[in-house]
Amino acid sequence: MRLAARVGLELGSLKLDVEIEAEPGEVLAILGPNGSGKTTLLRCLSGLQPIDRGRITLGDRVFDDPETGAFVPAEERPVSVVFQDYLLFGHLSALENVAFGMRARGVARGTARVRAREWLERMGLREYASTRPRELSGGQQQRVALARALATDPHLLLLDEPLAALDASTRASVRRDLRDHLAGFDGVRVLITHDPLDAYALADRVAVLEAGQFTQTGTLADVAAHPRSRYVAQLVGTNLLRGTVTGTAFAGAGGGSLTVEAESDGPTYVAIPPQSIALYNNPPAGSPRNVWRTTVVDIDAHFDRVRVTLADPLPLTAELTTAGLAALDTRPGDSVWASVKATEITTYPA
C-alpha cells in the first residue's frame, strides 16, 4: 500500500508544507535539523496531529482530508511508531509491552502473549520477556520498541530518531541490527533522523526537511553530490555557493567571482570539496585560474585534518593536513592566498 501525503499545518512558529510519496518495501528517510518539523510531520502521519490543509492516504484509505472532514484517529490507523526514546511502558514487562497493541485491539491475552513471545525471540530477546524496560540496555529497549510497533501488523512504520538515544559505542551495531529487522517488514517505512549516517545505512531515499519544507529529495548519493542548501552541504562536508553563471564566469550572490569549467547560463549552485582548496602565504605561480586573497576566520582540527574557514565574499572552508597547516603557519585574522582549480568545481542549476 502506497503512502501519499500532502501535509499543510501551522503550529506555533512552524509552517509545515510538504508532499510525501513512498512505496511499500521502501525506506524513506526524512533528514533535517532540530526544529525543522520532522516530529510534527510524523505526528500528522500517525494521526496524533490533524492537518490544516492537504490529504493523507495509505493505499485507498483516506486518513486525513480537512476538505471532506475525513479523519482517522491514531488508534484506528494501521500505523505504528518507534518513538525517539522508545516510550516503553515502565510498569509493564518487555513481553507485556509487545503484547500491548494486540491486547488493545482485542486479541485474547493468551494469544497475544504467545505472539509477543515470538516477536521477542525474533529480536533475540527471548530471555528478557519478564524484564522491565529500565533494566534493558538502550539497544535492547529499541528492539522491544520495534517488536511492539510491528506486533500490531501495521502497513506503515514510522521511526523517530531510532538511534538518537544510544551512545556512540553501541550505535553502529544497533544500526546494523535495525537494518536487518527493518528488512523483514514489507510495508512502507518512514525514518526520521538528523544523522546522514542513519539515512545512508537504513534508507533508500531521503527527503531533506528544513523549516517545514522539503529542500531536496532523491537518493542519498544524488543529494550528496548536488547539495541545494547550506545544511545539506555541511552534512556531506562540502562547500556550497549560490550565484549566477555566464559562460564559465560565476558571480557569487554575496559577491566574489570564480571561473568554472562547464559552460552554462543563469542561477546556479557551485559545490567545492574542501580538499581541493589550496592555501599559500604568497601569490602562487602556475596554472590555477582561481586565485584570490582572503582572511582566515577560523581554524578547526578534526583528527589529522584541519579545516580553515575563509572570509567573505567567498565563505569557503579549506581542508589541510596538519603538516600543511604547520608549513603555512597561519592564525585566525591572518591574510592568505587561496586557489582552486576550475575542474574541481561542480556546477548545477539553482
Partner 1 sequence: MFFALPFLGLLWRAPWGDAWSLITSPDTLDALRLSIVCSLWSTGLSIVFGVPLAWLLARGRFPGRSAVRALCTLSMVLPPVVGGVALFFALGRRGLVGQWLDRWFGIRLPFSTPAVVLAQTFVAMPFLVLTVESALRQLDRRYEDAARTLGSSRWYTFRRVTLPAMRPALIAGAVLAWARALGEFGATITFAGNFPRTTQTLPLVTYLKLESDPPEAVILSLLLIAVSFLVILGLRDRWLGGFTSGG
Positions that interact with partner 1 (CB under 8 A)? 43, 46-48, 73-77, 79-81, 83, 87-92, 100-101, 103-105, 132-134, 148-149, 152
Contact 256, 292 (CB under 8 A): yes
Residue 216 in contact with residue 232, Cβ under 8 Å?
yes
Q: Nearer to partner 1 by C-beta: 105 or 176?
A: 105
Question: Considering beta carbons, is residue 133 or 212 the nearer one to partner 1?
Answer: 133
Q: C-beta of 133: minimal distance to partner 1 in Å?
A: 7
Which ranges of 83-207 would DSSP assign to H, the alpha helix?
Answer: 94-104, 109-122, 138-150, 168-183, 196-202
Q: Which residue, 49 or 239, is less far from partner 1 as judged by CB?
A: 49
- Give the nearest distance from C-beta 100 to partner 1 in angstroms: 6
- Cα(246)–Cα(227) distance, integer angstroms: 21
Minimal distance in Å, beta carbon 152 to partner 1?
Answer: 6
| For partner 1, the closer CB: 22 or 338 | 22
- Measured torsion, CA atoms of residues 123, 82, 158, 181, in degrees rounded to the nearest 10: -10
Q: Is the peptide bond before 313 cis (omega within 30 degrees of 0)?
A: yes
* Residue matched to cell numbers 497475544: 112
Do the Cβ atoms of 316 and 338 come closer than 8 Å? yes
Closer to partner 1 at the Cβ: 46 or 330? 46
Strands (E), 154-304: 156-160, 188-193, 205-210, 213-218, 239-252, 257-272, 278-280, 290-302
Select 103 or 307, whichever has its Cβ closest to partner 1: 103
- Tell me if residue 172 falls in helix, strand or coil: helix
CB of 98 to partner 1, least distance (A): 10
Q: Under 8 Å CB-to-CB from 57, ≥6 apart: which residues?
A: 3, 4, 5, 63
- Closest to partner 1 by CB, 74 vs 299, is 74
Buried b (16+ CB within 10 A) or exposed e, 70-106: eebeeeebbbbbbbbebebeeeebbbbbbbbbbeeee
Q: Smallest gap, in angstroms, from Cβ of residue 58 to partner 1?
A: 14
CB of 250 to partner 1, least distance (A): 48
Q: Cβ 149 to partner 1, closest distance in Å? A: 8
